[in-house]
Chain A
Amino acid sequence: MARITLDHLAHSYKSDPQGPQDYALKEIDHVWDQGGAYALLGPSGCGKTTLLNIISGLVRPTRGRILFDDRDVTDLPTEARNIAQVFQFPVVYDTMTVRENLAFPLKNRRAPRERVAARVEEIAGLLDLTRVLDRKASNLTADLKQKISLGRGLVRPDVAAILFDEPLTVIDPHLKWQLRSTLKELHRNLDITMIYVTHDQTEALTFADKVVVMHDGAVVQTGTPDELFARPAHTFVGHFIGSPGMNVMPCRVEGATAFVDEQAIALDRSYRTTGSGQRIELGIRPEFVQLQPAGAGLPVSVRRIDDLGRARIARVEMAGRMLSASVPEAVSIDGDRAALVFDPRHIHIYADGHLVTGEPHSSGSAAVAASTGGRPS
């Protein structure tokens, strides 16, 4: 059982890294609390697997330290850490039965035979593998094999954390959901830290209590699924999470008013923008943009309306830019001319991709807003 601390961790696959562009993993400071269910979410090639392999000890970081509780394990080999890992492609030992597979990690650590047998039975029960215990592991389906690799991790009583590297990639869709709920249930019953790497936002958001979003070798936001949805710290998070993703448009901000293509949009916070040259953008999720009949707000032309079942989403064009908006039940649009109404409480302002926190109106302080021209995208 351990709290895992990443202390100024960075990794480069080059032997002589020069600048930040040489780092597969840029400097990261993070604490994984004991017993948490984490997801590490990001597109392929963003450094998630590198980070995972550093935690499990398969890769030694170029810089920084890893602490399990207060013990520095940076130089400890994998087998000396209390970590289990489940890989993208199920790894089972072909020549062994399921029982022997599950017993393998304990046998290697020279545990007494009766203890091994009892523990294997227990874990097999947890994972619903009891009925296949005496079958050859090589003859089983991918989801059972993946359960076996998970079981080989769980079987070790000292395991502090289990790392999952896109474990559902090769699982049939209808079994994915089942296996994910098995994982969730296991996490509730056992006090084990789980770190789940995926590029699938649904998997991440349904599995994890806390999601760590990575982009281009760096962590861009850590938060609960709700936080990621409500306050994306980076435009990337806005795009990546949510379906459809957040609308992002270049703008100019003056105090509590944003100008998109010279259309004023009221904000409920005021911003002081530091210096020019930054890329200022306005982000708002489609859920908080309402399509209304023409004249009620920003003029747009409607390209398409998709009925997603639970909601209707309109694809609209505003000055050459495609945006998504939700269509309220009562509204019906004639022709392609319509208007957008933004909910000011859910408008976020980004400078160079990063969220800028404004000051509430009520503070009354006159915001000195340097006018910055939005760079056209």
Chain B
Amino acid sequence: MSDKTVLITGATGFVGNRLVERLVLGSDYKTRAMVRRFSGPGLARLARLPTQLVLGDILDPNSLTEAAKGCDVVVHCAYGNSGSGSQRRESTVSGTENVLKAALQAGVRKVIYLSSSAVHGRDPKIPLVDEAAPFKNDRDVYSESKIEAEKLVWRYHREHGLPVVVFRPTLIYGPYGRTWTVRIVKEIQSGAILTNGGSGAANLVYVDNLVDAILLGMEKDAGDGEAFILVDDEQLTWQDVYKNYAEMLDAHPPLHDMSAEEIEAMHKAAEPGVLKQWIVAPLLLVPEMMGYSLRSPEMRGKMRRMPWAKFLARLVPRNVKDWVKGESKSQGQARGDGTPSSQMRLPSPEMIELYASQSRFTNEKVKRVLDYTQRISFAEAMNLTRSWLQYQRLIE
């Protein structure tokens, strides 16, 4: 292995950028990074490396053909992450087909495709999810288009003999991770809600562990024509994850526990409509009323805006109201981390489904076939992530 060139699409992204770093700094491969434009912090990060930058777009077949020329491997990380739903779908699906065509034409040794565990659904509803689990369409652009794109990869493998390796990483976190790192930290800073107390299965994978597997997939023939789920060994719950992030912060509002049903009830109560506000919402919110003192100011505010709640509130004696307020305050103080912020947001229905899922993904196949071992533990990964968050000035 030397002097072979790897084309990376999506090279300014979270995984692509780290992959280029690891290839440049820890292997003999030469890298060719395809970028859509000469701007953005992702490009600034990438350009620190002695990598070949080529301007191109996965929706422009000519630029792909040019970029793939002379390459040994193509690692396809790009997907549609901006624009309208149809634009995102086109980037993910047509873009993937363009990459496959260019790879075939260039006669590359193999294509590594970065799929997603989302092809099995946010909540696969089976205890242990392996690569044989069926595709489950969540009826959103991301999962639908990732399923469609992966099917294309398999079609090109079957019909054109294109050697492919497919990775289905679970939720990727670590330095430069937006959704499962920066978003969680910001959520905790403004008051996070733990669905079902955070008891759901958190199927996370640290970015470097995923890159290790991609490097093995590039190097070893045993993985050709196979799909691999990538998830870290630790069987974490969301409570583990949120508490670890929360410990990085000096002060933050308390983590709030709510059941999935309560959050859904709050969503429904917030929807407009006379029927909902006067008849459905009160019924849904009975359990909420029972736990009124535990709710955040934002949620109490929402409840108070309900016409029936205003009516009820007038009937409640002042001493009871004071008691409720006092109870709420002491709750915040007991946790010693201030009062909940008014910026707290309810998890979306999609996130509730994901956070409530008890399904665990398994990395048994990647270990067996590619001789993969997880090198960075959750504890080490969180230390590295904390250092990055501090450097990024997102935490102190």
Task: Tell me whether A and B are bound partners.
Answer: no
